[in-house]
């Protein structure tokens, strides 16, 4: 979710543990007391940071959608002037970092998005659409003959591939982060190349 190296704030600790617990046992299967215990504060103490579980869920899902978009825009800016392939590689690397480091958020999104208030759910969808369209633009620079609908389908398909990480087994059962990241990258580029070959 973030690449910061300084110590996480209490609020970030709460969100991380809430994501883990919600992903493991479902939103309704976790109480505020359990989240509080996971970060060493009382359940009621959480209310100094969040209005409740709904607010935590909204911040997690809206937050990660915003972070992915912001990170993709930053990567695109930093790669300005380089070959489109380098921009695409950078976008893939950023999404792989998310897929490997924030696996509970993927599960949470799949299971709990419908629990958000309409306004929060619409915001998540809006941020996700912008994220997809950024990728579509870059992909069509790499493969100029790829029609926009096909490019959009390819981007969604690659997201499905990369976001499958929660189903790869426990983190310790993977062959290693570097090896897994390289494999996912090759598979994503292979999928895009297959789409571009059309």
Phi/psi at 9 (5° precision):
-75, 165
Instruction: Tell me the per-residue pLDDT of 22-73, one tens digit each, with 9 for 90 and over.
Output: 999 999 999 999 999 999 998 778 889 999 899 999 999 999 999 999 999 9
- The CA-atom distances, in angstroms, between 35 and each of 27, 42, 106 are 11, 9, 19
Report d(CA 13, CA 122) in Å as an integer. Answer: 26
pTM more than 0.95? no
Give the 3-state secondary structure of residue 170. coil
Report d(CA 172, CA 88) in Å as an integer. Answer: 29
Count Cβ atoms below 10 Å from residue 28 Cβ, excluding itself: 10
Per-residue model confidence as pLDDT tens for the chain (198 residues): 444 456 778 899 999 999 999 999 999 999 999 999 999 998 778 889 999 899 999 999 999 999 999 999 999 999 888 899 999 999 999 999 999 999 999 999 999 999 999 999 999 999 999 999 999 999 999 999 999 999 999 999 999 999 998 887 765 666 788 999 999 999 999 999 999 996
Residues comprising the chain, all counted: 198
């Amino acid at each position: 979710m973030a690449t910061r190296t300084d110590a996480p704030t209490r609020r970030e600790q709460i969100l991380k543990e809430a994501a883990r617990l919600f992903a493991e046992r479902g939103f309704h299967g976790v109480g505020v007391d359990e989240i509080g215990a996971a970060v060493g504060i009382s359940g009621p103490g959480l209310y100094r940071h969040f209005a409740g579980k709904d607010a935590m869920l909204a911040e997690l899902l809206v937050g990660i959608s915003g972070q992915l978009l912001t990170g993709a825009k930053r990567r695109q800016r930093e790669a300005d002037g380089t070959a489109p392939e380098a921009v695409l590689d950078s976008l893939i690397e950023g999404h792989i970092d998310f897929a490997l480091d924030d696996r509970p958020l993927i599960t949470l999104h799949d299971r709990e998005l419908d629990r958000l208030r309409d306004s929060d759910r619409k915001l998540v969808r809006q941020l996700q659409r912008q994220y997809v369209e950024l990728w579509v633009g870059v992909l069509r620079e790499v493969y100029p003959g790829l029609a926009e609908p096909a490019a959009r389908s390819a981007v969604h398909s690659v997201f499905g591939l990369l976001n499958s990480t929660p189903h790869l087994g426990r983190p310790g059962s993977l062959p290693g982060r570097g090896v897994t990241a390289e494999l996912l990258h090759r598979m994503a580029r292979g999928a895009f190349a297959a789409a571009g070959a059309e």
